[in-house]
Structure 1
Amino acid sequence: MDVDRREIVAGIAATALLPTTAAAAPAADWRPPAPDRELRVPVRGGSIYVRLNGDLAAKKPPVLFIHGGPGSGHSGFLPALQLADARAVILYDQLDAGLSDRPADPANWTVERFVSEVDALRAALKLDRLHVVGQSWGSTIALEYAARRPAGLVSLTLGSPLISVKSWEKSTRAQLATLPADVRRTIETHEAAGTTADPAYAKAMDVFYAHFLYRQTPPAYITAYKKRPGLTLNPVVYNAMWGPGEIAATGTLKSYDGEPLLPRLAVPTLVICGAYDEMTPAAVKPLVARIPGGRLVSIPDAGHAVASDAPAAYVAAVRAHLESTDARR
């Protein structure tokens, strides 16, 4: 789901293990550049914020990043702006998230409507070809979009993906089982009783998140960027669509199942997970096996917030996937 819980608490082709000291690591003093262009794109229900770095007319197709949540924002993808040295990088906030409009209308909170934002973005930016990268809930949107086999889609990357709630909860329950008994008992008791507003639940969930969501301190530039006025998270849409915590779904997504879509993916597909992800590599591996030519990369020492926990390794994995796909064309 990829929500910053410190701010909101209410047939497989190959399996790779990337070193944390990736060759493509940026300089220690790297900072994300200011956007080359910012715009608002009309979508059903309002307008969304979009930022662009790099040249849309470059030879290499641009890459569109779809953030998690629901209700999170694009800031977690700041490390990916390193890719703008070779192609245009597009980040955006979904409706009711980040710098986009917040009409707060539950009628907008459907998978289909969020997928339609990708079509609106492509039309506004005239994207004949593009790579798509999702993270967590953003991977749900990316999966649904790619399964339609849209013209011009070059490749797909699914980060820490919510492919189905049943596979997600199987993974998170297994992770929960590794925590101390008192933590498990507190979480399970309050979720069963519907008393997740109790501070004891939040305290216990913080232990879960420290193990499986954010394992490392985020880069200072991400922390600073989140202080931009208006760039706040939206717990209302998160709670309505998912629920009070990352482990189990109680909202409108609770019966979501995108597994039947996996065999329909017709472009080179990379799946990235942190070694200690909420959606573990072991849990996602059998799903990747159902993606034609699918490939899985596990990032050491990373939790669910892979791009924040291990920016160099994450960017290196995405860059390699985009470059290898471009080379085939």
Structure 2
Amino acid sequence: MPVSIVVGGQFGSEGKGKVALEIARRSKAPVTLVRVGGPNSGHTGYDRAGKKWALRQLPAGCVDRNVDVVFPAGSYINVEVLLNEIEVLHYPRDRVFISPFARIITEQHRAWERDAGLVGSIGSTGSGVGGAVMAAAAREAANFPLESPTAEQHASLQPFIDDISERLRKGLNHENRVIIEGTQGFGLSLLEGGYWPKSTSRSTTAAGALAEAGLSPLDVDDVTMVIRSFPIRVSGDSGPLLNETTWAAIASGARLKADIREYTTVTQKLRRVGHFDVDLVKRACLVNRPRRLVLNHLDYIGPVADLKNSTSALSRFVADVESWIDKSPDWLGFDGLGVVENFKSCTWNV
């Protein structure tokens, strides 16, 4: 069945949003974008007019405004952020569908994270997703202080409430393409990432995203894992980052004159950056078993023209990655122009 899952193989910000958008654009069938997780990370996409959209709640794969957008039961919604993004993007409201069982993030959840010290101790964005996850798992326990409201209980979301399981199944039965846009990256996964407690509050693997979407493993024909040339972590005490370096050192190595420093979408703090961690990506491949691998941010190594030169630093790096992880990247991404472009041709047809 035609389900694509897009996940990150490092610590997030690998470019999952633009890859989901690329898959949507290449699909010959109607597309439904499923957004799992919550607004604790930003996804960026450029629409066909070249305008950049940094979204926290809507999936970046929807910026062309021509796909159905689904929030399944395994999603966590900041209502204010969602409604604002729908308005700013001028997204067709009749193409947004929300499960009645999706969870609502409240100010109570955000305050709990601040009071718990998670923002400082693990580099949390303080968006309330962790609090919302805890509240849902507590199941209204008498000794846990947080409530867990659902989407069907929120008046502003009533026009969007729908039977998501039935909607997705009908689409799949008609061979429509469903794309699950995962959040964050493998190294942040609560269960498998290996960096607990410096992790997020959910499983960020393909299997975890599929479970949150409420679909069967038998539906999946594509797992796409996205990695980047230099992995990042958020600022502060966010956990280990192998061979940490600086943005200035990367720019110098690639002879880049532009300021390439990256800042987090949610908190606008300077990201930490490190050299390629082979072991992390190999573990991510073992757990996610991607059918397609996307290697992004290659302009931090060299310009796309250098791919024509087998002795260039860029060509050597791509060859090294293939040798290190025993898997060839299917698509190559260059972000210098801020658009999805210069991917290697992929024979698999979505």
Q: Which has the higher contact order (CA 8 A, sep 6+)?
A: 1
TM range (shorter): 0.3 to 0.5
Structure with larger Rg: 2
TM-score by length of 2: 0.36
